[in-house]
């Protein structure tokens, strides 16, 4: 067995040194009734060739996004990831290290996390960011809990334009706490009025920009209203590339920003792992969840990095910790950070402009089709369309033509018949003009 270095002779010598008669002897504390005397009913070990063949067969039964014209988003975005990213994150010193508990042998991890925290703060327009959470959905739940701690209030309001998974994760996660979560109805038309719903009991409002249905919103007035009554504004960002072109939540007065970082540096991976970004204002630092890397000096006075403010965390505070999170999304944060380093100011803003331009072109092509209506007036790289037919059926018909044509909103909201004909469509820098034309032509046929 290729991963096991001990030989039979080693095992015998070691057992003799221990004074045990056999390996079974070492398991003598296990109650006899729970011991297994023989291997379980699963296949025996297999060589690389065999395992590869098995996985190749599984992979072949999936339609890879890159093999067809592809227009899906809804919180998971397909961007071109430079080859450099994947080569660097596979360096063993990054890939096979643990959480940087021993700073003297983890300066690499600690420095990139410090850089990551800075990048996240910069693009969101916030003062501080942590070293990552699991994903944006769990980050929303953490933000709500943090807002409740900061404000000492128990009411959380979720916008209908917040990603449905962020909504359900926040609601499920908080269901057994004393925090009450109110989720407004899904809002494809942008009719929701949050201003009138914030009051002196509200801990926070969680909104998304660009919204789940694509719409861009100026949140300045909402932020002011929240602050006037002592509530916090939490802004979720599902597509971080939008921050290269759109005014960031920090500039609109957000108190906490949560975002999904997958789109930069990370593949789709069928939706996981994700990368939860979490940023806030300095004054709320001590209520933040998750790890933080800070700058310091070593015994020789040289600049270095350590995990810090850990008195917030579970390993010190146990049941009084700000969160139970331990393992986070370190390697995904590294991929995000390398991608953003390669992009830099020019590349990041250029990438965002390119995404927006592609989406505008696509929206115009699709909105020209008979019976198709573009719902949001303003958007970044994704928008909702109202179709003259059931969107899920349309998507299935398109898939039969080898086009992955967006996400039917009914997948998230099966009990809202008024959403059955709403389709979410995304274009990124990977979407070619030919893809768009193929999509428009196929959609025209399917809708006939």
Partner 1 sequence: MIPTLSGNQGLQIEEPLIFEQDSPGACGVDLPDAPAIDDRLGGLARQGPIGLPGLAEPTVVRHYTRLSQKNVGIDSVFYPLGSCTMKHNPRLNEKLARLPGLADIHPFQPQGTVQGALELMDTCAHWLKTLTGMPAIAMSPAAGAHGEFCGLMTIRAAVAARGETRTRILVPESAHGTNPASAAACGFTVDPIPATARGRVDLAALKAKLGPDVAALMLTNPNTCGLFEDEILEIAEAIHGAGGYFYCDGANYNAIVGRVRVADLGVDVMHINLHKTFSTPHGGGGPGAGPTVLSAALAPFAPLPAVVHDDQGFRLIEHAAQSGAMPVGRIKGYHGQFGVFVRALAYMMSMGADGLRQASSDAVLNANYLLAELSSDLSASFEGPCMHEALFDDRFLKDSGVSTLDFAKALIDEGFHPMTMYFPLVVHGALLMEPTETESKDTLDRFIATVRGLARRAQDGGAESFKAAPVFTPRRRLDETTAARTPVLRWKPPAS
CA distances from 338 to 85, 140, 210 (A): 6, 25, 24
Return the residue matching tokens 């940087």: 100
Please state the closest distance from residue 76 (CB atom) to partner 1, in A. 5
Choose among ligand PLP, partner 1, none what residue 340 binds, the Cβ cut-off being 5 to 8 Å by kind. partner 1
- The two three-digit tokens of residue 46, written as one number: 């297999």
CB of 411 to ligand PLP, least distance (A): 29
60 binds, among partner 1, ligand PLP, none (CB under 5 to 8 A by kind): partner 1
The entry of partner 1, ligand PLP, none near residue 369 (CB within 5 to 8 angstroms by kind) is none
Cβ-based nearer residue to partner 1, 229 or 326:
326
Chosen from ligand PLP, partner 1, none, partner binding at 430 (C-beta under 5 to 8 Å by type): none
Q: Which does 368 bind (CB under 5 to 8 A by kind): partner 1, ligand PLP, none?
A: none
Residue 100 CA to residue 94 CA, distance in Å, equals 11
Q: How far is CA 160 from CA 165, 168, 170, 213, 287, in A?
A: 12, 11, 13, 10, 27
Three-state secondary-structure class, residue 155: strand
> Looking up tokens 């002779």, which residue turns up?
9
> From ligand PLP, partner 1, none, which one binds at residue 193 (CB under 5 to 8 Å depending on kind)?
none
Strands 155-158 and 128-129: unpaired
Sign of CA dihedral 43, 44, 50, 56: positive
- Which of ligand PLP, partner 1, none interacts with 420 (beta carbon under 5 to 8 A by kind)? none
Give whichever of 65 and 184 is closer to partner 1, judged by the CB atom. 65
Q: Find residue 157's DSSP bridge partners.
A: 182, 205
8 Å CB contact between 136 and 236: yes
Closest CB 151 distance from partner 1, rounded Å: 18
Q: Which of 184, 188, 209 is nearest to 385 (CA)?
A: 188
Nearest residue (CB) to ligand PLP, 99 versus 107: 99
Q: How far is the CB of 52 from partner 1 (least distance, A)?
A: 7
Q: How far is the CB of 136 from ligand PLP (least distance, A)?
A: 18
Residue 292 contact among partner 1, ligand PLP, none, beta carbon within 5 to 8 Å by kind? partner 1
Task: Answer for the pair 334, 275: CB distance below 8 angstroms, yes or no.
Answer: no
Task: Pick one of partner 1, ligand PLP, none as the site partner of residue 10 (Cβ within 5 to 8 A by kind).
Answer: partner 1
- Tokens 């693009």 sit on residue: 123
Instruction: State how far the Cα of 176 lies from the Cα of 179, in Å rounded to an integer.
Output: 8
- The crossing angle, in degrees rounded to 10, of helices 164-174 and 136-151 is 50
- Return the number of the residue (83 or 196) whose C-beta is nearest partner 1: 83
Q: Distance (Å, rounded) from C-alpha 406 to C-alpha 72?
A: 4
Residue 226 or 409: the one with the smaller Cβ distance to partner 1 is 409
- Spatial distance between the Cα atoms of 159 and 303, rounded to a whole number of angstroms: 44
Residue closer to partner 1 (CB basis): 176 or 370: 176
What residues make contact with ligand PLP under the rule CB under 6 A? 326-327
The partner residues of 408 in beta bridges, in order of sequence, read: 423
Q: How far is the CB of 45 from partner 1 (least distance, A)?
A: 3
Q: How far is the CB of 160 from partner 1 (least distance, A)?
A: 17
Closest approach of ligand PLP to the CB of residue 314, in Å: 8
Which residue lies nearer to partner 1 by CB, 31 or 370?
31
The entry of partner 1, ligand PLP, none near residue 309 (CB within 5 to 8 angstroms by kind) is: partner 1
Nearer to partner 1, 188 or 330 (CB): 330
Among residues 128, 108, 126, the alpha carbon closest in space to that of 331 is found at 108
Give 251's contacts (C-beta < 8 A, 6+ positions apart).
Answer: 125
Q: Give me the residues paired with residue 259 across strands.
A: 237, 277
Three-state DSSP at 304 gives strand
Nearer to ligand PLP, 97 or 349 (CB): 97
The nearest distance, CB 439 to partner 1, in angstroms, is 15
The minimum distance between CB 415 and partner 1, in angstroms, equals: 7
Q: Which is nearer to partner 1, 135 or 255 (CB)?
A: 135
């Amino acid at each position: 067995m290729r991963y096991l270095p001990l030989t039979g002779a080693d095992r015998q010598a070691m057992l003799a040194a221990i004074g045990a008669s056999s390996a079974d002897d070492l398991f003598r504390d296990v109650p006899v009734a729970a011991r297994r005397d023989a291997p379980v009913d699963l296949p025996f070990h297999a060589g690389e060739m065999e395992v590869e063949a098995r996985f190749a067969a599984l992979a072949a039964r999936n339609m890879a996004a890159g093999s067809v014209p592809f227009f899906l988003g809804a919180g998971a975005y397909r961007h071109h990831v430079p080859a450099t990213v994947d080569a660097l994150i596979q360096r063993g010193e990054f890939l096979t290290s643990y959480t940087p508990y021993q700073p003297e042998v983890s300066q690499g991890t600690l420095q990139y996390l410090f850089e990551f925290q800075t990048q996240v703060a910069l693009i969101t327009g916030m003062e501080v960011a942590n070293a990552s959470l699991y994903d944006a959905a769990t980050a929303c739940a953490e933000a709500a809990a943090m807002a409740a701690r900061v404000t000492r209030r128990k009411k959380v309001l979720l916008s209908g334009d917040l990603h449905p998974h962020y909504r359900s994760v926040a609601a499920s996660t908080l269901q057994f706490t004393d925090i009450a979560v109110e989720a407004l109805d899904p809002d494809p038309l942008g009719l929701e009025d949050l201003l009138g719903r914030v009051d002196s009991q509200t801990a926070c409002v969680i909104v998304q920009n660009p919204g789940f249905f694509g719409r861009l919103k100026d949140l300045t007035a909402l932020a002011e209203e929240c602050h006037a009554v002592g509530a916090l504004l939490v802004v979720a960002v599902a597509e971080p590339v939008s921050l290269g072109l759109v005014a960031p939540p920090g500039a609109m007065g957000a108190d906490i920003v949560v975002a999904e970082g997958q789109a930069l540096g990370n593949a789709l991976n069928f939706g996981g792992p994700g990368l939860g970004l979490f940023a806030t204002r300095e004054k709320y630092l001590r209520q933040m969840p998750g790890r933080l890397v800070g700058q310091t000096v070593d015994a020789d006075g040289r600049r270095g990095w350590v995990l810090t403010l850990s008195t917030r965390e579970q390993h010190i505070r146990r049941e009084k910790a700000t969160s139970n999170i331990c393992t986070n999304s370190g390697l995904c944060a590294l991929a995000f950070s390398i991608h953003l380093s390669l992009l830099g100011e020019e590349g990041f803003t250029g990438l965002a402009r390119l995404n927006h331009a592609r989406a505008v072109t696509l929206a115009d092509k699709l909105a020209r089709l008979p019976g198709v209506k573009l719902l949001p007036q303003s958007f970044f790289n994704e928008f909702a369309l109202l179709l003259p037919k059931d969107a899920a059926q349309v998507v299935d018909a398109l898939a039969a033509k080898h086009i992955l044509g967006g996400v039917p909103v009914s997948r998230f909201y099966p009990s809202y018949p008024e959403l059955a004909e709403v389709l979410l469509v995304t274009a990124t820098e990977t979407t070619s003009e030919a893809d768009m034309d193929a999509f428009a032509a196929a959609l025209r046929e399917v809708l006939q």
